[in-house]
C-alpha cells in the first residue's frame, strides 16, 4: 500500500479566530460547511456525507487556535488538522490545513479542501 504523505494548505480568511474556531470544533459549526451532518460523542465525531459515515477521533484542541482529528480507520501516523494563524502585525487571519494523502491523491484531496473552505468562507460571509 502506498505511503501517505503530509501536506499543508493555507487559506486567508476574513474572520476572528474566535468565530472561526466554532466552525472547526462544534458539531453545528462543522455541519454548515464540512459535512451534511456531524454528531459528537466522547471525543468521537461522526461525519455524514450523503449516506456515507466516517468517524474521527478528536486528538487535540487549542481554544481559538487548533483542532486535530484522526479518522478511526486511517493509518496510525495520519491525522487532519485545522489551525488558525493570526499575523501579529496585521491581525490577518489564515486557516492552515494539514492532511495526509498518497502521492496520486494529494491533488484530489487539495481540491476537496478548496471546495470545503470555499463553503466555509461563504458561510462566514467573509
Specify the fold of 4-124: Alpha-D-Glucose-1,6-Bisphosphate; Chain A, domain 4 (3.30.530)
pLDDT band at 2 (very low <50, low <70, confident <90, very high): confident
Please state the domain extents for the chain: 4-124
Pairwise CA distance, residues 72 & 54, whole Å: 8
pLDDT band at 126 (very low <50, low <70, confident <90, very high): low
pLDDT, average across residues 58-81: 96
Please check the confidence at residue 88 and state whether its pLDDT lies above 70.
yes
pLDDT, average across residues 5-31: 96
Mean pLDDT of the chain: 96
Query: Residue 58 forms beta bridges with which residues?
Result: 69
- Say if CB 82 and CB 8 are below 8 A apart: no
Please check the confidence at residue 67 and state whether its pLDDT lies above 70.
yes
pLDDT of amino acid 31? 96
Q: CB 28: neighbour CB atoms within 10 A?
A: 9
**Of 50, 48, 68, residue with least CA distance to 58:** 68
Amino acid at each position: 500500500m502506498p505511503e501517505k504523505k503530509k501536506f499543508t494548505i493555507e487559506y486567508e480568511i476574513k474572520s476572528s479566530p474566535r468565530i472561526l474556531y466554532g466552525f472547526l470544533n462544534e458539531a453545528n459549526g462543522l455541519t454548515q460547511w464540512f459535512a451534511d451532518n456531524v454528531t459528537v460523542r466522547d471525543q468521537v465525531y461522526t461525519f455524514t456525507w450523503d449516506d456515507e459515515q466516517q468517524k474521527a477521533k478528536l486528538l487535540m484542541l487549542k481554544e481559538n487556535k487548533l483542532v486535530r482529528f484522526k479518522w478511526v480507520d486511517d493509518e496510525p501516523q495520519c491525522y487532519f488538522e485545522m489551525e488558525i494563524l493570526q499575523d501579529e502585525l496585521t491581525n490577518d487571519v489564515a486557516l492552515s490545513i494539514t492532511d495526509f494523502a498518497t502521492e496520486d491523491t494529494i491533488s484530489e484531496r487539495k481540491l476537496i479542501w478548496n471546495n470545503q473552505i470555499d463553503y466555509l468562507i461563504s458561510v462566514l460571509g467573509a
